[in-house]
Structures are given as structure tokens and as C-alpha cells.
């Protein structure tokens, strides 16, 4: 059995990759560096590994390194997508860094960010997706809420090496539902039973209104249809503003959701900050149902 939270220190915006029998989680910058790294054999017991990205790319400033996620390419290398502030545009943009091991060190040798929609407020929360045929895609959001504009979730094809984009980006969703407030963010596409599901978070991250929703999509490039039952994960007395989730198969073969949440009375505080939570996701008639946030003992994955 385990009881939430599964990691008792600040670890916002978790992005996870499984390599063999080990899970690696990357988080937003903090005392442990640009990209704090954890590892676990079971999604419950986590070990700290320091900074996976010791230096940001030459195009970026240090200090605002957000929401990293990684993918393993067909060549065996690992590409980490991260958000940082561009020195050229003074907005948050998306970069990519490469390593030969999931623990890093990841190195960004690019002179420019991969995605930077400066006129739309910037670009953040990049999430790679590998389809059943091995094709790669990148999903992200424009940071429109930073300049009082709408936010959209985007999709675009990635080259096989994961380092360049191909084709044109398409808009999958826009913040047009009351519960989403002024922002949708943190997209993650998964494929379950042959169907594409896009998880995302909505509303302000530093409020009780922050929550998780999803959309059903025809392909990784859309079109997508927002679920009428959203949000599917929201504030409870023990976990405030749960969100920026990452959905992954556990060692038990079932679907699990990692996400961050604030402890009661601590919204906006860096100590203890946003803690790491884990809950099971069941599939009912093709729809994801999150059993959480749970604050009582639960069976291990």
C-alpha cells in the first residue's frame, strides 16, 4: 500500500519516461537545479538524482526552466524538451537537449529555441508523443495568458531524431470552457486501445480552481473533442489545485496518473510547494476515470 503524496518535496510539472524497469521523472526548476530528476522502480518510491540539465541552451536565461518531458528516439538517444526564457524575445520558449542516458546530462547545442511563438505570448509545456508506428509528435501551448490572450494547445510532427519540426502546427483546443478560466496548458497525448486521448490542465495553477481535463482525438494532430464531464481531477481537502499530470502505464500494467498538488493552506508557497501525487486511472467505455486525489492508503501499482 502507499499513501499520497509519493514525494514530499516541491516537484512541479512532472514529466515521466520509463526505461526498462525504471521510471524517471523530470520537474520544473528548483533548489536541485534547472531540471530536478527523480527515479523510481514503482512510481511510489523516488530517489533524487540532481540536475538533468546542468546548463540551458545559449538562447536562454537560467532561472525559469519549466515543465520538461523526454522521449527516446529510434537511434537510442534521449531528447528532453524544456521551457526557458529566450534572451532574444524575453518570453518563454521551448528548447531541446540530448543525452545518451535518461539521467543526462542533457545538452542543448542549439542557437535558437525549437518553438517560440513570441507574438502569442511565448510557447511552453512541450510534450512528445510516439505513435504506434514510431512517428513522433510534439504538443505544447502558447503562453497567451501571459499577455491577456487566449491559450491554445498545438500539435506538430517531429523529425525521427526529435530535434526538428516538420509540416505546420495545428490547434487542438482553446480555453473556451468556464472551468478552464484564462488558460489551458500541460498537454499530454496518449494512445489507449487504439484511441487517442489528450490530457491537459486548466485554470490558474496557483488556485483551487486548477484541475485536469481531457479530450478525445481522431489522430495525434486532431481533431479533438473536449469531454463533457471535465474536469476529471480537481481540488479536495487534502490536495489543492491538482494538475499538470502525466499518465503512464504502471508496473502492474494499469494506467496511473502522476500530478502535482498543493498541501492545504500552502497554495503559492515554495515550501513545501507542489508535491507529487499518484492515482489510478480506470477506463470506462473508453473514458478515463481518475480515482483521486486520494489521501488514504491505496494498493501499490
User: What is the C-alpha separation between 193 and 154, in angstroms, rounded?
Assistant: 23
Asked, for residue 62, whether it belongs to a domain, the answer is: yes
246 forms bridges with which residues in the sheet?
258
Percent of the chain whose predicted confidence (pLDDT) is above 70: 100
pLDDT reading at 180 higher than 90: yes
Asked, for residue 145, whether it belongs to a domain, the answer is: yes
Beta strands in 109-226 (DSSP E): 123-130, 136-142, 152-158, 165-174, 184-192, 195-202, 211-217, 224-226
Asked, for residue 2, whether it belongs to a domain, the answer is: no
Q: Which pLDDT belongs to residue 179?
A: 98
Asked, for residue 257, whether it belongs to a domain, the answer is: yes
- The per-residue pLDDT for range 90-110, each reduced to its tens digit, is 999 999 999 999 999 999 999
Domain limits at 246?
A: 15-290
pTM of the model: 0.98
Strands 47-51 and 36-40: antiparallel
Nearest to 124 by CA among 199, 187, 70, 179: 187
Q: How confident is the model at residue 273 (pLDDT cuts 50, 70, 90)?
A: very high
251: helix, strand or coil: coil
Query: 222, 155 in Cβ contact below 8 A?
Result: yes
Residue 277 sits in a domain whose CATH number is: 2.115.10.20
Q: Which pLDDT belongs to residue 56?
A: 98
Asked, for residue 299, whether it belongs to a domain, the answer is: no
201 forms bridges with which residues in the sheet?
185, 212
189: helix, strand or coil: strand
User: What is the C-alpha separation between 296 and 279, in angstroms, rounded?
Assistant: 11
Asked, for residue 274, whether it belongs to a domain, the answer is: yes
- Give the position of cell 488558460: 183
Structural domain total, the chain: 1
Query: 116, 123 in Cβ contact below 8 A?
Result: yes
Q: Exposed, middle or buried: residue 300 (CB in 10 Å: 0-12, 13-18, 19+)?
A: middle
Asked, for residue 163, whether it belongs to a domain, the answer is: yes
Contacts of 87 (CB under 8 A, 6+ apart): 59, 60, 61
- The per-residue pLDDT for range 2-41, each reduced to its tens digit, is 999 999 999 999 999 999 999 999 999 998 899 999 999 9
Q: How confident is the model at residue 260 (pLDDT cuts 50, 70, 90)?
A: very high
Asked, for residue 264, whether it belongs to a domain, the answer is: yes
Amino acid at each position: 500500500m502507499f499513501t499520497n503524496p509519493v514525494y514530499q518535496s516541491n516537484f512541479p510539472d512532472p514529466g515521466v519516461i520509463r526505461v526498462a524497469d525504471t521510471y524517471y521523472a523530470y520537474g520544473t526548476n528548483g533548489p536541485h537545479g534547472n531540471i530536478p530528476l527523480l527515479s523510481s522502480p514503482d512510481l511510489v518510491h523516488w530517489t533524487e538524482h540532481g540536475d538533468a540539465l546542468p546548463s540551458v541552451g545559449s538562447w536562454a536565461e537560467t532561472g525559469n526552466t519549466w515543465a520538461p518531458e523526454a522521449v527516446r528516439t529510434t537511434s537510442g538517444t534521449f531528447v528532453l524538451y524544456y521551457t526557458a526564457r529566450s534572451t532574444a524575445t524575453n518570453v518563454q520558449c521551448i528548447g531541446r537537449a540530448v543525452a545518451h542516458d535518461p539521467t543526462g546530462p542533457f545538452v542543448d547545442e542549439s542557437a535558437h529555441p525549437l518553438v517560440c511563438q513570441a507574438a502569442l505570448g511565448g510557447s511552453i509545456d512541450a510534450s512528445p508523443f510516439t505513435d504506434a508506428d514510431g512517428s513522433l509528435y510534439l504538443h505544447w501551448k502558447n503562453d497567451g495568458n501571459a499577455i491577456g490572450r487566449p491559450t491554445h494547445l498545438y500539435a506538430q510532427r517531429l523529425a525521427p531524431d526529435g530535434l526538428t519540426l516538420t509540416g505546420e502546427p495545428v490547434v487542438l483546443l482553446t480555453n473556451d470552457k468556464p472551468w478552464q478560466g484564462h488558460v489551458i496548458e500541460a498537454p499530454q497525448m496518449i494512445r489507449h486501445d487504439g484511441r487517442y486521448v489528450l490530457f491537459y490542465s486548466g485554470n490558474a495553477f496557483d488556485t483551487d480552481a486548477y484541475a485536469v481535463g481531457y479530450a478525445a482525438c481522431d489522430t495525434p494532430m486532431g481533431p479533438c473533442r473536449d469531454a463533457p464531464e471535465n474536469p476529471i481531477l480537481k481540488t479536495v481537502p487534502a490536495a489543492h489545485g491538482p494538475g499538470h499530470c502525466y499518465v503512464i502505464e504502471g508496473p502492474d500494467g494499469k494506467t496511473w496518473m502522476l500530478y502535482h498538488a498543493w498541501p492545504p493552506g500552502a497554495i503559492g508557497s515554495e515550501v513545501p510547494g507542489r508535491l507529487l501525487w499518484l492515482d489510478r486511472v480506470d477506463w470506462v467505455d473508453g473514458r478515463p476515470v481518475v480515482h483521486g486525489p486520494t489521501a488514504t492508503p491505496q494498493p501499490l501499482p
